[in-house]
Amino acid sequence: MSPASDLLASTLADADFHPRLAQQRRLYEAAKSAIHQQQLGAGNKLPSSRDLARDLGFSRNTVIAAFEQLAAEGYVTSAQGSGTYVANLPQLAFISKASVATGGEAEAQLSKRGNDITAFAAGARYEIQPFAPGEADFSGFPFKLWQRLQNRLWRDARTDLLDYGQSGGYLPLRQAITDYLRISRSVKVNVGQVLITAGTQQSLDLCAQLLADAGDTAWVEDPGYWGARRVFQACELALRPVKVDADGMSLSEDDLATDPRLIYVTPSHQYPTGVVMTLARRRELLDVAVRKNAWILEDDYDSEFRYTGRPLASLQGLDTDNRVLYMGTFSKVLYPGIKIGYLVVPNALIEPFKIALYDLQRPGQLMVQAALADFISLGHFTAHVRKIRQMFGARREMLRRTLATALTGQRARISSEESGLHLVVELPDHVDDTALEKLAMESGIHVRALSTYYLAPPVRRGLLVGYAYVTPEKITHYGKVLASVIQSGCAEVVPPTCAKWRSQ
């Protein structure tokens, strides 16, 4: 067997090397890879098709087809009666030089913005996941019902649902959302104001691109939602963290001395602390927005999950000056991968936002939008919300009881907010919540340190614990493990300067 045959045979023997491709394609990929890595250098003669077929155990036609593909793309040249040779490709010298500095791969030439965005993987650090290990539990989703709704649409062969969404989304879904928001969230809205987006991140991106320029200031809650910050940073906005206390976003004199273009808030259930913005704070914020000619972005990300009392009215419902853009999502109440959200914009912004949504995002998924419209209009959505609200509420209470029993006598405190998909275990000042996060991870438990959600120096310590997509059995078992981790952190000697429990 020739050296070239041996090299290719070794590559093809690796079961992980393009296992799903046909043999002809695998041979082509193996030869191309060897040429790129200069294992087969320019001018090297390849074995004849007959010899290579014998060495590899392939048919000769397979080898000939691979050679023809390599020749068509300029990797090899053939001369009648002489054989097949690796071509002299000048660009490979450039690739090789670049590879020397990057361990074998050409350096990624990202923009400054690209480097800033990818230098810090926020999602992996901040996304609140089910605290117990294993797959997330989506057993509450009505799979068979959803399948029937989709199958009916495909049987009807609705060709109009195969196109892009050119008018802000599927009209019946926009109407269903309009009716739902008017009744359940006290949103002042007509169907023309509702745009269907691919979720909150896309809604935020549209707002940032159309309502602010690079260098403009955006007020954000502190601590606050990491996803909003990432969008604003990508749009090169200047972030100003605004303190959150027990009444929601708290504007200081220093804050009021600045002029924001955007104000991002989660007033009905602040992310991540869970506090509710008071009516006085809401009215103050609306007044400030008018005086400073700013836009308020209201993210109502989980209003369906309020376990006691009626859902709180929206901030947008109090707005008399058309300064609020209201957004929500179905990713929490249905399933994350559905990637359908909605954005309610003031009348003056409808046309610009529709144009930008279509030109920049080319929205689609009309079949899924149509299925969701039927799901809502036929009453299934209301029934589903009622079911999972009860389910998640029971899981929240189970986790609270498990933690509370174990933490009796400790200085940790479990948040009292009866809403959302996670709870906050507030910790004494002396406890390093990031260290506890790592300690929990060693036990296979996924929690997030509250202090890491601050832009300014943190003023509270705690752990965010997601419970919604965890089975009851895991909550009971791993809740006790988590309680033990928290106990160990709170049992440390309290430094004199940190002896005062900070509850706000």
Tokens coding 92: 């490979």
pLDDT in tens, 13-55: 887 788 878 888 888 888 888 888 888 888 888 888 888 888 8
Query: Is the N-terminal amide bond of 336 cis, ω within 30° of 0?
Result: no
Residues 218 and 344 grouped into a single domain: yes
Residues 176 and 310 grouped into a single domain: yes
Cα–Cα distance, 243 to 7 (Å, whole number)? 62
CATH of the domain at 250: 3.40.640.10
pLDDT in tens, 106-128: 555 888 888 878 877 788 788 88
Compute the average pLDDT of residues 268-289.
Answer: 94
Check if the beta carbon of residue 67 is closer than 8 Å to that of residue 49: yes
Q: Which domain holds residue 230?
A: 143-378
pLDDT in tens, 442-490: 888 999 999 999 999 999 999 999 998 888 889 988 999 998 888 887 7
Cα–Cα distance, 434 to 225 (Å, whole number)? 18
Output the pLDDT for position 96: 46
CATH of the domain at 60: 1.10.10.10
Predicted TM-score (pTM) of this structure:
0.77
Q: Which range, 119-133, 230-244, 399-413, 432-446, is most confident?
A: 230-244
Check if the beta carbon of residue 384 is closer than 8 Å to that of residue 142: yes
CATH of the domain at 451: 3.90.1150.10
Check if the beta carbon of residue 249 is closer than 8 Å to that of residue 265: yes
Output the pLDDT for position 103: 52
Task: Identify the DSSP state of 422.
Answer: E
Residues 292 and 184 grouped into a single domain: yes
> For the purposes of burial, counting CB atoms within 10 Å of the CB of 44, is it exposed (0-12), middle (13-18) or buried (19 or more)?
middle
Residues 228 and 359 grouped into a single domain: yes
Q: Closest Cα partner for 478 from 448, 450, 440? A: 440
Residues 342 and 421 grouped into a single domain: no
User: Nearest-5° angle of CA 136, CA 126, CA 251?
Assistant: 130
Name beta bridge partners: 240. 219
Output the pLDDT for position 23: 85
- For residues 78 and 295, which has the higher predicted lDDT (pLDDT)? 295
Average pLDDT, the chain: 87
Compute the average pLDDT of residues 429-445.
Answer: 90
